[in-house]
Amino acid sequence: MSKSVPAPVNPDLLVWAREEGGYDIGEVAAKLSLPPERLVRWESGSEAPTLRQAEKLAALYHRPLPLLFLSERPASQPPGAEFRYLPGVTPGEESPELRLALRMLRRRRDIALDLLDEMEELPEPFSLSARLDQEPEEVGARLREALGVTVDQQYGWRDPYESWRTWRDRTESLGLMVFQVPGLDLREMRGVALFQNPLPVVGVNSKDHPLARPFTLMHEVVHLMLRAGGEESAAKEQVRHPRSWPLIERFADSVAAATLMPGDAFTHDPDVATHPPGAAWSINEIEPVAKRFRVSMVAAMTRLATLSRMSWEHCRNLRAVWERKFERQAKRKTGGGPTRAGLILSRVGPSYAALVLDSLTRDLITPLAASDALDLKVHHFDRLKSALLHGAEPPPTPSSFAP
């Protein structure tokens, strides 16, 4: 009965939460099966939603219900003030899903910084930089050396998840945090970087195949390096002409490919070394090369182009064929699946999970705060500790684009 009582929400907060979430009135009305006119009345203050309706609004906007009762709008960063420019995404016009993902990334970074401060520890500084006038091969070699992964180690990885976990863990040792982001269309975002200092953040779309994620991760690290080198600014501050971005993206792709596949090892690969000079590559010929290096097909294609074993035009065309092939494939359901603890570990990564659990052990935070920080109920913590110990990772999930 109490749920039908009008909720004393702040109408201005209803407007703020909707706009911050990236929704227009029509979208919200459709999602909640409401006449748009009713939502207009709520936001104007001429009518108040019931408690249940207010709860539904808060859930849709992914905001705590008490926020809608505040007397004034909370301080917030304008869209595009922190993340790197994403081709095809206009700052301020991000989808609700992308806005939610960016909020989640910022919030986890803030939590990590607060916990490190409580422990009286300083985050490792991210000290790598790059400029667009540098050779991608040289930048890739520096990044690979900083990551400390040998080719022999790479050849010895048992499966795509061991590859992804190793690259992610080694990347976090550079002084940044890596999170996986669920619920986003791959066409809108495969990866994103938050230009923060200290502790910059990289978000990788969890819908992507595990073999594709290391390439995306390295691509985003390159954007962080370009930011440190003064070549990039946050999306909202960018003044570059749109025509310049394909060259920047190609630079990031080239460095990422050089990092994952060192030139000497790649050119001496049996399938690369014996391929007739000037002959076109087929998808079937590239697959075994990608498999040996535990990288995506797109990464292997890019590497062939950067080493002049394939033209960039052929690389673009072959990539389009490859992606269309897997876009047409119907998604298949996998049996079983990870535990909730294993899923959360895959999203937040071992460094963040260990930081939260260690803070809980030291009584620096309450179990409720730890649960909120991890998006995991307290009774799952023992499983998370076990998953953290054994490096658990969910099984492959088919996506609209294979690696």
Whether residue 52 sits in one domain with residue 104: no
pLDDT for 396 beyond 50: no
Q: Element (H or E) spanning 10, and its range?
A: none
Question: What is the C-alpha separation between 80 and 77, in angstroms, rounded?
Answer: 8
Whether residue 251 sits in one domain with residue 125: yes
Domain assignment present for residue 125? The answer is yes
The predicted structure's pLDDT at residue 358: 96
Whether residue 56 sits in one domain with residue 83: no
The predicted structure's pLDDT at residue 392: 56
Domain assignment present for residue 74? The answer is no
Whether residue 209 sits in one domain with residue 309: yes
The predicted structure's pLDDT at residue 328: 57
Whether residue 237 sits in one domain with residue 187: yes
Question: What is the C-alpha separation between 313 and 304, in angstroms, rounded?
Answer: 12
Domain assignment present for residue 325? The answer is yes
* Each residue's pLDDT tens digit, 265-315: 999 999 999 999 889 999 999 999 999 999 999 999 999 999 999 999 999
Whether residue 248 sits in one domain with residue 221: yes
Whether residue 91 sits in one domain with residue 63: no
Question: What is the C-alpha separation between 193 and 273, in angstroms, rounded?
Answer: 35
The predicted structure's pLDDT at residue 330: 39
Whether residue 174 sits in one domain with residue 30: no
Alpha-carbon dihedral 253, 256, 257, 258, rounded to 10 degrees: 120
Q: CA 393 from chain center: how many Å? A: 17
- The CATH number of whichever domain residue 39 belongs to comes to 1.10.260.40
Helix (H, G, I), strand (E, B) or coil at 180: strand
Whether residue 148 sits in one domain with residue 93: yes
Whether residue 54 sits in one domain with residue 155: no
- Region 101-107: mean pLDDT is 95
3-state secondary structure 367-386: HHHHHHHHCCCHHHHHHHHH
The predicted structure's pLDDT at residue 278: 85
Q: CA 358 from chain center: how many Å? A: 24
From 43, 69, 95, the end of a domain falls on 69
Question: What is the C-alpha separation between 282 and 312, in angstroms, rounded?
Answer: 14
Domain assignment present for residue 303? The answer is yes
* Each residue's pLDDT tens digit, 227-267: 999 999 999 888 888 788 999 999 999 999 999 999 999 99
Residue 333: band (very low, low, confident or very high) from pLDDT cuts 50, 70, 90: very low
- Give the structural domain span for 236: 79-403
CB 343 within 8 A of CB 100: no
Instruction: Spell out the residues 6+ positions from residue 52 whose beta carbon is closer than 8 angstroms to its own.
Output: 3, 4
Domains in the chain, number = 2
Domain assignment present for residue 354? The answer is yes
Domain assignment present for residue 258? The answer is yes
Whether residue 294 sits in one domain with residue 151: yes
Interhelix angle 245-260/297-306, rounded to 10 degrees, is: 100
Domain assignment present for residue 208? The answer is yes
Helix (H, G, I), strand (E, B) or coil at 114: helix
Which has more confidence, 332 or 317?
A: 317
Q: Element (H or E) spanning 74, and its range?
A: none
Whether residue 63 sits in one domain with residue 36: yes
Domain assignment present for residue 32? The answer is yes
The predicted structure's pLDDT at residue 400: 38
pLDDT for 394 beyond 60: no
The predicted structure's pLDDT at residue 336: 56
Alpha-carbon dihedral 269, 270, 274, 278, rounded to 10 degrees: -40
Residue with tokens 């890596």: 178
From 69, 100, 115, the end of a domain falls on 69
